[in-house]
Amino acid sequence: MTNPLLSQWDTPFEIAPFGQISDEDFAPAFDMSMAEARKNIEAIADNPDAPTFENTIDAVEQAEEALERVLSVFYNLAGADSTPKREELQRLFSPKLAAYSSEINMNPALFERIETLWQKRDDLGLTDEQSRVLMLHRRGCVRSGALLQGAERDRLKEVLERLAVLGTQFSQNLLADEREWFMELVGADLDGLPEFVLDAAKAAAQEKGVKGHVVTLSRSLITPFLQFSTRRDLREKAYEAFVARGANGGDSDNRAIAAETLALRQERAELLGYADFASFKLETEMAKTPDAVRKLLMDVWEPAKAAANADAEILARMMHEDGVNGELEAWDWRFYSDKRRAIEHDLDEAEIKPYLQLDRMIEAAFDCATRLFGLEFSPLDVPLYHEDARAWEVTRNGTHVAVFIGDYFARGSKRSGAWCSAMRSQKKLGGDVRPIVVNVCNFAKGDPALLSFDDARTLFHEFGHALHQMLSDVTYDSVSGTSVSRDFVELPSQLYEHWLEVPEVLQKFATHAQTGAAMPADLLKRLLAAGTYDMGFSTVEYVASALVDLEFHNGPTPTDPMGKQASVLADLGMPHAIRMRHATPQFAHVFSGDGYSSAYYSYMWSEVMDADAFAAFEEVGGAFDPKMAGLLQEHILSTGGSKDAEELYMAFRGKMPEVQALLKGRGLV
């Protein structure tokens, strides 16, 4: 029988035929498509004709299409709906892919052709995008070891293969810990929990095959449990389980993996001629240097810590007034912070949440995209990889733009967090290829599903990434959509969050789950007025994580990452009742691959820009100003990585922003 992963997909918009694909199809499809890609690359490298942009760069851009199609389906499934077989395949594929990548990037004949084009680039009559793509291909080869020889080249290959294995193992260990732990709640264990938390805990119990209610390690469930449970002992138990992920001993412990990963990254950097991994990694980002990153983070750290310490004193007094002695602890913060918010802002999460229905928030995200960019969304009835996933066709003026897939609910087979990926990226080389974009979240199930305001912000955030993919308008896949520097990629996503807080958006879409009534004007006003509430806490837990990440990779490599983490936090004067948002053994951003390694700061770097970018709308015609929307699409959303990130932002705004915009937006000045 024909392998469905390798055949033509006679499906609407060539969406993968998930109903026909089995886990047994992936390994043979992987091997065959990789062999085809290898053969295509060899033909390019061994071409007797003189190198041209078309027979080298264009050809390389199209050489791996079959392999990319197989991998895009596989890795979407592996992240969103893992099985033991898919985890086994990840372990099989990751070192093979690393070896293949090194083989291509270090191919002497191929690099010689690229280098020849680079030396003659001014005489080739290239477009700006082609010049950028040529530079990126050459730079990628050099940074992957193309200039190394002999033993150093061989060692770098070994290092990269081992790092791929470790990254996969780290992810799978974390998923195992998250999947296996849950705490049953009976009788008085439920004290203080509002109806929406009980509904979510009941749905989680059903997913675990347990009667009654459970708390899992899904952030969307454990956070409201910590907010509302009056049982301090159970809050402590749940919280400690949450922060112990990846550090429970046994086969799923990630601490040794983190140590080995850091050592290998340092060796990789030194082989390529850099002092440390942070210097290597940041060279291609907007920040450029570890010192620039450290300055940004420390500029934010001090005012954030001052705010958090002031808040901690207030929360500790509240706790003592409740008759609880001792220090305020991490499992107390959310509980007393929620009480304080109710007092100071007259806000109760149980009052807010019925107005934030998942389906209505999806409609809100779509409606903003319609008003800003003219996009329309129509539901698609197509087979997808899980019953929770759903799809829409995206059009503009009747013309197909993209397919958007949303997969919103937490489940044991899905890794934690939220993300955006493209099963197919936009490109024009070889035909007008339109993207298939996926948003994956981990919201608690309910009937109807209700979101916290933070959940709704996450939904808008990921949809901002999706717009970056859907509105991409470039020729080359390698610079399409979100293929930009790491500290620029969060700009579209964080910028889109601002539209959730536009009063007219909530007035229209924040409707009560039972009555259908719009959120009362007074409640809306109080909700928006509390927008920067507890910002000291959220900023401290984030910046602490970013600084630990930076110090892991800048300077001498720690042999004991947990000891290094402790010393960095001690030097910072980390508030006692706040922990890192992501402690080392569960820091998937940093250790499940090197995407955000040395670069977790990126969210904050982008936030400096997103605060300034939204101000650009407010300075003219408001949040839906058509001229500013046009500039945003022209210079940011449609251009992908076809130009330098700073050049793109300057074209949109005319200047680079200062950190004060961020501090003001967070209410820290």
Q: For residue range 225-262, what is the model confidence (pLDDT) as tens digits?
A: 999 999 999 999 999 999 999 999 999 999 999 999 99
Tokens 């053969």 map to which residue? Answer: 39
pLDDT(451) > 70? yes
Kindly report, residue by residue over 212-226, the tens digit of the pLDDT: 999 999 999 999 999
| Burial group, residue 84, by CB count within 10 angstroms (0-12, 13-18, 19+) | exposed
Q: Which of 129, 285, 462, 490 is catalytic?
A: 462
Q: State mean pLDDT over 140-164.
A: 97
Report how far apart, in Å, the C-alpha atoms of 520 and of each of 233, 350, 364, 527, 533 are. 36, 15, 17, 11, 20
pLDDT of 407 higher than 90: yes
Identity at 289, one-letter amino acid code: T
What is the spatial distance between Cα 197 and Cα 338, in angstroms, rounded to a whole number? 15
Cα 184 from Cα 186, distance rounded (Å): 7
pLDDT band at 549 (very low <50, low <70, confident <90, very high): very high
**Which tens digit of pLDDT belongs to each residue from 28-58?**
999 999 999 999 999 999 999 999 999 999 9
Which residues touch 442 (CB under 8 Å, ≥6 apart)?
218, 219, 220, 409, 410, 414, 416, 417, 418
Contacts of 29 (CB under 8 A, 6+ apart): 3, 5, 6, 70
Instruction: Band the pLDDT of 274: cuts 50, 70, 90.
Output: very high
Q: Assess whether pLDDT exceeds 70 at residue 388.
A: yes
pLDDT at 172 over 80: yes
270 Cβ contact partners less than 8 Å away, ≥ 6 residues apart:
none
What is the C-alpha separation between 457 and 361, in angstroms, rounded? 9
Q: Taking 90 as the threshold, does the pLDDT of residue 661 lie above it?
A: no
pLDDT band at 153 (very low <50, low <70, confident <90, very high): very high
**pLDDT average, residue stretch 281-296:** 97
Query: Which residues are CB-neighbours of 10 under 8 A, at least 6 positions away?
Result: none
| pLDDT score of 653 | 95
3-state secondary structure of 378: strand
Q: Return d(Cα 572, Cα 581) in angstroms, integer.
A: 15
CA distances from residue 1 to 30, 33, 65, 70, 71 in whole angstroms, order as listed: 16, 17, 22, 17, 21
Domains of the chain: 12-105+107-143 (1.20.1050.40), 181-245 (no CATH), 251-347+535-600 (1.10.1370.10), 354-529+603-665 (1.10.1370.40)
Q: What is the mean pLDDT of residues 519-547?
A: 96
Average of per-residue pLDDT across 501-519: 97
Please confirm, yes or no, whether 462 is among the known catalytic residues: yes
Q: Is 184 helix (H, G, I), strand (E, B) or coil?
A: strand
pLDDT at position 305: 98
Judge whether residue 592 has pLDDT over 70.
yes
C-alpha span between 188 and 128 (Å, rounded):
66
CB atoms within 10 A of CB 196: 23
What does the pLDDT average to over 387-409?
98
Pair 392, 403: CB distance under 8 Å: yes
Tokens representing 51 are 């190198």
What pLDDT shows up at residue 283?
97
DSSP string, 6-20: TS---SGGG---GGG
Q: Is it the case that residue 669 has pLDDT exceeding 90?
A: no
User: Which of 348, 346, 396 minimizes the C-alpha distance to 370?
Assistant: 396
pLDDT(137) > 80: yes
Question: What is the predicted pLDDT for the residue at 1?
Answer: 64
pLDDT at position 225, please?
A: 97
The torsion region of residue 299 among left (phi > 0), alpha (psi -120 to 50) and beta comes to: alpha
Q: Return the percentage of the chain with pLDDT > 70, whole number.
A: 100
Mean pLDDT of 473-497: 97
Confidence of residue 665 (pLDDT cuts 50, 70, 90): confident
Q: What mean pLDDT is reported for the chain?
A: 96
Q: CB-based contacts of 214: which residues, under 8 Å, 6+ apart? A: 182, 183, 184, 185, 201, 204, 205, 208
For 362-389, what is the mean pLDDT?
Answer: 97
| Helix, strand, coil share of the chain (percent; to 5) | 60, 10, 30
Three-state secondary structure call for residue 83: coil
